[in-house]
Structure 1
């Protein structure tokens, strides 16, 4: 039997580790030594605002750009594109004209090694499209079906109990009738409704009860008119507050900028949308296949935005053909009720979620609060006036707090329940 030599085992393991390291490095570094990961970081920090890898944006698509131009020329172009154009370089002028004479930002701070890393990243092959998983429709539990079965079973049980009770009562009355003989038979000859009609007290009490109950239900029904809590209409262009305010944490006041200075929050113009979507033409977030919110769905909605503003994606320019978007209003106060957004948002410092609910979780925007008079009054009674860095209320707060004998005034104590505040 041959004896195994363990002396060279550490050396062999070290050699194997070196081979694995070199193999792994080939996936990170190109043949010329560029770092893909560093290149991706530099690309996102410097280039992604105007360029995409596989689609034209403000500038051309950059995947495979290292194969189209010489490296020394790319160094000069990236570091000082306008200088190269003014020098009369034919490639530079041709590229400048092909992209609507859009001036490219110069990056003299990038070294040749940085540019090599960026070019290595843009030279990576296009990834294969991911296969979409189909939602599982069978084999799972159905909560709605289970709850319906429980309700149905409960109703059947109640019905059976009523049948049994009626049977027992009828049997008992029949036994009593047989025991009392003729006396019971005579009493049974008069229907119960006649007995009830002859009793004037019961008739009076029943009439009053029916009138009060009818008035209660009619008043409750009429009180629902104009209360649209939960109203979530379908908009001409789908806008997800969950993606914008939730996933991307965009401040509400960025789009609804007039809420800080005006009575109304305003509907953002499509130009505000294009501040971001000029360079964001494709959705790159998570999908909800069960509800139909897929990448294709969101991309089609972005295409609707481009069609409305007249944005030509291929030429990265406006065509001038605009189409008005007929947004459906969700929150609508009656004309006789006054509400000022700036007083609540800027002066009082009230969060948007106080009235509009967790908008950062809403895929489809809906009316969260009832927006009734009672709801507003309750809020004024419960909400203390915010005095931190708020000189607007300092003097009146000092005087009224002595009057009411409290340290912290509510909006109601500040005059928030006066009729003229909301009804002018």
Structure 2
């Protein structure tokens, strides 16, 4: 029996493939074990408790009552509160009873002439802290426990990452690069094996006298020459191309001036998803002129500072960022950086909590822009007609980057006037005209079109 040398080569390749695959499996398993151990350690370390109060409850109370004026590690309207109990005890000799009295009735402490109370009052522009008589001693203990707790380290986030996707896959802690590398190696070895098998089979066929003949292509008429010789087919094709070109040219020209989907990048990133969606801020709080003016208006920066004077960093959605947000770079650090841009533009000194007077204009990019010959009044639609902002602007509360949702074409506006009933209840402006036109048209509800909403002079004058 003849020796078949290729068997040894294929066996070797298979053996090496299995060994490499096993090594990768062992390394990946060891990484899973390491991540699991780190998660357990982080959980045990994060389970530390304080005897004076509950930091978890204290955090909730702090956010409800204190966060508007205080932060843990920086000066705001009031002083930083990290380790405030221990600092006051060491530096001023004040005990917890003093803190109870100060938090519950700070104006009374100032009037009584307490030395440290008067010092704080004078240091912070003689603005007395709001009294919180409804907070119990246990509530204050919880808040102090939160202020004394160390800031969250990286270990809890590792634990959260390891346990968050445990139900879906145990390999969440494994690097994607390692998995892709392992698959690439295995795929490469399979390709090499197929190449060896193919070349070996060819050699066996040649050794046994089998001749591999290549198929000879018959001479045929080129397809382009056959097409040119068929005059009917050429005529049909030319007509089809002319009609298709006219159709696409008409469609392209009809889109001139239509900016549906336009989403420019603004100099300061503003997330409607966070403000209007997560925080439920009403549209007309920022765009207040939409109630009384033709234009909705661009909010001035002082409107932003009504909140961001105290909100100096973005701490994220309680549910955590989505994979899409992370892929687009929308992290807590990114949003905090945009707040710093706002401070620079408005001239706000974070350290001293005051305006410097050195402001810079923000060159916002306009998104919705009607032609000059088209008249549109926001107050007529918002205040009189009672139309919601989302009717024209779409689900603004879901938009990370604001974009033009509707086409804002003449046909789109006309269709809306034909379908929308006029809001008459509690609207004396339309009471008389509605009564007369209802008899004329024989209907109970009038549309905007039936009340003259299709007259050319309504929008073009």
The TM tier, using the shorter chain, reads 0.7 to 0.9
- The match for 1:127 is 152
- The match for 2:86 is 67
Q: How does 1:25-104 map to 2 (within 5 A)?
A: 30-31=51-52, 34-69=53-88, 70=94, 71-104=96-129
Q: Which structure 2 residue ranges, 5 or more long, are not aligned?
A: 1-46, 89-93, 162-172, 181-219
Provide Cα deviations, 1:142-196, integer angstroms capped at 9, x if missing partner. Answer: xxxxxxxxxxxxxxxxxxxxxxxxx7998xx99xxxxxxxxxxxxxxx9766x99
Q: Which structure 1 residue ranges, 5 or more long, are not aligned?
A: 1-25, 141-166, 175-189
Residue 302 of structure 1: which of 328, 339, 363 is its match? 339
1:226 counterpart = 2:251: no
Report deviation, 1:389: 3.0
Report deviation, 1:420: 0.6
Report deviation, 1:210: 8.5
Report deviation, 1:274: 1.1
Report deviation, 1:252: 0.8
- The match for 1:375 is 412
| CA–CA distance in structure 2, aligned partners of residues 385 and 136 of structure 1 | 59
Report deviation, 1:234: 0.4
- The match for 2:371 is 334
| CA–CA distance in structure 1, aligned partners of residues 283 and 270 of structure 2 | 13
Report deviation, 1:216: 5.2
1:293 counterpart = 2:330: yes
Distance of aligned partners of 1:137 and 1:336 in 2 relative to their CA distance in 1, 3 Å threshold: farther
- How many residues are treated as equivalent by the alignment? 349
- The match for 2:360 is 323
Q: Name the SS for the 2:326 alignment partner.
A: coil
Return 313-322 or 265-274, whichever deviates more: 313-322
Return 278-287 or 210-219, whichever deviates more: 210-219
Provide Cα deviations, 1:384-411, integer angstroms capped at 9, x if missing partner. Answer: 2223333332221221122112222111
Report deviation, 1:250: 1.2
Distance of aligned partners of 1:196 and 1:60 in 2 relative to their CA distance in 1, 3 Å threshold: closer
- The match for 1:258 is 289
Q: How does 1:208-247 map to 2 (within 5 A)?
A: 217-247=248-278
Q: How does 1:385-404 map to 2 (within 5 A)?
A: 385-404=422-441
Report deviation, 1:270: 0.9
TM-score by length of 2: 0.67
- The match for 2:40 is none
Contact 1:28 1:37 in 2 (8 A): no
Provide Cα deviations, 1:28-77, integer angstroms capped at 9, x if missing partner. Answer: 6524xx34444334323321221122332211121211112222322332
| CA–CA distance in structure 2, aligned partners of residues 263 and 122 of structure 1 | 49
| CA–CA distance in structure 1, aligned partners of residues 252 and 135 of structure 2 | 70
TM-score by length of 1: 0.73
Residue 412 of structure 1: which of 443, 446, 449 is its match? 449
